Chain A
């Protein structure tokens, strides 16, 4: 999966036709074979653009105003990234005419050990769901699978699960890298930081970290696309996907097999209501 040449050609064309102000892609890291996000405004830097199975990050995150100031952006997205972008479009964070989307039919990216990443093994939609131009061959939607660790966690008793999460999230240092790396965490001021949200105030205790993460995961429930940008950004290497995947599983089972960002104008399971909704899980 190497689309570097094609991406460079498209970027040159977009700059030449004055269709974009920014182009967001990947470039090779200077000290090893990993890649980093690469935001360019100068066409001279186009030759540095690459795309391989090392292009792990979700670049939709760079459509937040901090980075590209709501200007016109050319953007490279994989299947999961495009689902996040779809939600950003639905939630009025990005204007469709302001973004030129190069969708990649993804064959899966590699983790740090050089193996196929876990979320790519479980991927339900490797093809871009929203794009202006598509690269690679589409392979279609796949079956939804839940990994054993999530199922095992769901089996645990409530208190046991609470202890488990409290234990592993004890190492949260509240740096908020997870929030900053998530394309769907775009609030002007996060509820966790607001003066009125006394629940998260006080010392940085272990449970404060857990509560903040739990709230964060609930705000992403039915919206998280499993790109795992947050896990890649976490300096404490917390298994944040455990929260998101649990939510995803519960929602898939109870909200008519809902998966986030698959369709245009789908705001997520919690934001739509139909008379035929099953409500057997409501007490």
Chain B
């Protein structure tokens, strides 16, 4: 005979204000298997847990129902309370009367109470059919894969490697460094981006625990936490990195000129190129889309000038495999294309540029040697208008969210402009100034006071050409008037957006992403670096727009998570997974087809007792199964059952209401 204990939580006022908790406790007592039914203000607190532990022992309970918040919140807490009292933790059932009742039915206490009664009755019925389950141990491969070699990937890789855990760092472009390598100086201290980044890049290349794979992409990820298998495609670089010394003779002699994407296409690079002088690895690659040797079979100059004979036009893409235990995704961000701003004349007027173009121009190593120049006539601009929120906070043309870093980098641009062109003047059109961060407000003040930038609160409605100037018409909301500014150069602070490859990457990794394409964290507050898939972590702007300090902090947090995961030799795994009955399995293998984790394999068993003929049946790989239940739903012969959600348990629940 089952002996069930019911423990109802007030959750302070969260539940008690909207549900008649004492009535719920009395209602539960009416179920004949219920031996004890009590309430407490905070069941998750230590006295609350003690109450459960005592009741289990005193009443010789066979299962426990906790009516409180979502099991995502405190299921682990209560399971631990059960095992502390010597009971199998999986005999716990949580009735979620907070998220599922009190929070969503705040206007109708009676109905909310009735619903709570139903939820508790269901939980009691299910708990009676609950079975004892035991955690599964799986081995761990202690190697981490970091996808993306920007500052987030670099920081995560270095921190993990410093803990003497091998790291494979995969970067899609020829050099690591990412967006940060394109920046000139960084807010709020104005230290040179390259100067603080380059040493870290060199550390990555020379670290004994880091395997750097540039110019490569992850194309497949199989397996499960602690035991992933990744396929990495090394794109053909046509240069043998082992023998290349990085002397640069080839890039000098190459006759083909191509727009330089690192410099936002302001100048040209060659068809064989290193993206920037400080690149790591400092080895060139051939751009197959533009190299005349690869396209037409004519030229071959780079091969002729290479003393080491490192050029290999016949090189092909290569796929390599790595066994890894955890993944850090740090794919960074893209910038929003301002084309929809037709009223600004984007695309028509050459002297409207984006912030990153401006950033490259003011960079000492940039295409204009650190002096901003008008793209139309190459003159140094005097009056520069900066417009913020281009694409961000713009539901009509762009995206709804605030892209977080534009207020700060625009203030920085105003200061840098003043540094480079002393007699210049910056006008900044803004919606709000969002400068929350250590030293950030002071930095904006510095732009406003020290460099005397004119901050105009309002949107720009139109930009038109007058002579060789651009007339920027906008509203100054603080004086309630339309203003017109005569500008030599207009800089658009375009929004940070998720890389367009993110959805495809998310599907490949089996993690989720939001409507903008940002990869989703497991919990916005309490699990900000984990994904819903165990062993996959997020760092940097791939999760949401971030500045460098936040990115680095998140990358280090990822490293801590990876080190924590690898601390033991085995991992404990939830036993709530599928099992297949050989007796009932018809061997159609539809479950193999629908399993998102490749957790189902096949097995040959005798056709009948003592039969020599064999038949194929499906078999669950315990380590891989995540307990999603897809196979259970697809199985026609009901041969598969999911521990913790078996048919008798579910039917009990249904019958209870």
9-residue interface stretch from B10-18, B138-146, B294-302, B585-593 = B585-593
Q: Is the CB of A196 within 8 A of B593?
A: no
For A194, list chain B residues within 8 Å (CB).
584, 638
For A70, list chain B residues within 8 Å (CB).
607, 613, 615
Known A92-B589, A196-B647, A196-B648: A189·B584 in contact at CB below 8 Å: yes
Q: Is the CB of A197 within 8 A of B584?
A: no
Known A189-B583, A198-B651, A271-B593: A92·B588 in contact at CB below 8 Å: yes
Q: Is B628 an interface residue (CB 8 A)?
A: no
Q: Is B133 an interface residue (CB 8 A)?
A: no
Complex CA distance for A189 and B587, rounded to whole angstroms: 12
Known A196-B648, A197-B647: A186·B594 in contact at CB below 8 Å: no
- Which of A188, A198, A270, A272 contacts B586 (CB under 8 A)? A188
Q: Is the CB of B594 within 8 A of A271?
A: yes
For B613, list chain A residues within 8 Å (CB).
65, 69-70
Q: Is the CB of B636 within 8 A of A187?
A: yes
Question: B638: nearest residue on chain A (CB-CB)?
Answer: A191
Q: Is A267 an interface residue (CB 8 A)?
A: yes
For A93, list chain B residues within 8 Å (CB).
586-588
Known A187-B637, A198-B651: A65·B607 in contact at CB below 8 Å: yes
Question: B586: nearest residue on chain A (CB-CB)?
Answer: A187
Q: Is B616 an interface residue (CB 8 A)?
A: yes
Which residues from 25 to 64 on chain A have a C-beta closer than 8 Å to any C-beta of chain B?
none
Q: Is the CB of B590 within 8 A of A91?
A: yes
Q: Is the CB of B607 within 8 A of A188?
A: no
Q: Is A219 an interface residue (CB 8 A)?
A: yes
Q: Is the CB of B636 within 8 A of A191?
A: yes
Shortest beta-carbon distance, A269 to chain B, in Å?
A: 12
Shortest beta-carbon distance, B608 to chain A, in Å?
A: 9
- Which of B583, B585, B636 contacts A219 (CB under 8 A)? B636
For A196, list chain B residues within 8 Å (CB).
638, 647-648, 651
Shortest beta-carbon distance, B578 to chain A, in Å?
A: 15
For B61, list chain A residues within 8 Å (CB).
none
Q: Is the CB of B593 within 8 A of A189?
A: no
Shortest beta-carbon distance, B212 to chain A, in Å?
A: 33
Q: Is B634 an interface residue (CB 8 A)?
A: yes
For A198, list chain B residues within 8 Å (CB).
651
Complex CA distance for A194 and B588, rounded to whole angstroms: 18
Shortest beta-carbon distance, B589 to chain A, in Å?
A: 5
Shortest beta-carbon distance, A178 to chain B, in Å?
A: 15
For A186, list chain B residues within 8 Å (CB).
586
Number of A-B contacts (CB under 8 A): 55
Q: Is the CB of A271 within 8 A of B637?
A: no
Q: Is A146 an interface residue (CB 8 A)?
A: no
Q: Is the CB of A65 within 8 A of B615?
A: yes
Mask of A212-251 contacts with B, CB within 8 angstroms, 1/0: 0000000100000000000000000000000000000000
Known A70-B607, A197-B647: A188·B616 in contact at CB below 8 Å: no
Which residues from 78 to 114 on chain A have a C-beta closer than 8 Å to any C-beta of chain B?
91-93
Complex CA distance for A190 and B584, rounded to whole angstroms: 8
Shortest beta-carbon distance, B533 to chain A, in Å?
A: 19
Q: Is the CB of B647 within 8 A of A189?
A: no
Q: Is the CB of B593 within 8 A of A188?
A: no
Complex CA distance for A270 and B635, rounded to whole angstroms: 12
Shortest beta-carbon distance, B128 to chain A, in Å?
A: 15
Mask of B570-611 contacts with A, CB within 8 angstroms, 1/0: 000000000000011111111001100000000000010000
- Which of A92, A187, A271 contacts B584 (CB under 8 A)? A187
Question: A220: nearest residue on chain B (CB-CB)?
Answer: B636
Q: Is the CB of A92 within 8 A of B587?
A: yes
Complex CA distance for A191 and B615, rounded to whole angstroms: 19
Complex CA distance for A65 and B584, rounded to whole angstroms: 15
Complex CA distance for A197 and B651, rounded to whole angstroms: 9
Q: Is the CB of A188 within 8 A of B583?
A: yes
Complex CA distance for A65 and B590, rounded to whole angstroms: 19
For B607, list chain A residues within 8 Å (CB).
65, 69-70
Q: Is the CB of A271 within 8 A of B647?
A: no
Q: Is the CB of B638 within 8 A of A188?
A: no
Shortest beta-carbon distance, B26 to chain A, in Å?
A: 30
For A219, list chain B residues within 8 Å (CB).
636
Complex CA distance for A247 and B530, rounded to whole angstroms: 43
Mask of B185-203 contacts with A, CB within 8 angstroms, 1/0: 0000000000000000000
For A69, list chain B residues within 8 Å (CB).
607, 613
Shortest beta-carbon distance, A221 to chain B, in Å?
A: 11
For A187, list chain B residues within 8 Å (CB).
584, 586, 636-637
Complex CA distance for A267 and B589, rounded to whole angstroms: 10
- Which of B588, B615, B647, B651 contacts A91 (CB under 8 A)? B588
Question: B617: nearest residue on chain A (CB-CB)?
Answer: A188
Q: Is the CB of A91 within 8 A of B589?
A: yes
Q: Is the CB of A271 within 8 A of B638?
A: no
Q: Is the CB of B583 within 8 A of A271?
A: no
Shortest beta-carbon distance, A55 to chain B, in Å?
A: 28
Complex CA distance for A198 and B651, rounded to whole angstroms: 8
Complex CA distance for A235 and B613, rounded to whole angstroms: 34
For A191, list chain B residues within 8 Å (CB).
636-638
Q: Is the CB of B634 within 8 A of A190?
A: no
Which residues from 604 to 657 on chain B have a C-beta closer than 8 Å to any C-beta of chain A?
607, 613, 615-616, 634, 636-639, 647-648, 651
The 10 closest A-B CB pairs, nearest first, are A187-B637, A91-B588, A191-B638, A187-B586, A219-B636, A196-B647, A189-B584, A70-B613, A271-B590, A92-B587
Known: A186-B586, A267-B593, A271-B590. 18 other contacts (CB 8 A): A65-B615, A69-B607, A69-B613, A70-B613, A70-B615, A91-B587, A91-B588, A188-B583, A188-B586, A190-B637, A191-B637, A196-B638, A196-B647, A197-B647, A198-B651, A267-B590, A271-B593, A271-B594
| A–B complex contacts, Cβ < 8 Å, 12 sampled | A69-B613, A70-B613, A91-B587, A187-B586, A187-B637, A188-B583, A188-B586, A188-B637, A189-B583, A190-B637, A194-B584, A198-B651
Chain A residues with CB under 8 Å of chain B are 65, 69-70, 91-93, 186-191, 194, 196-198, 219, 267, 270-272
Chain B residues with CB under 8 Å of chain A are 583-590, 593-594, 607, 613, 615-616, 634, 636-639, 647-648, 651
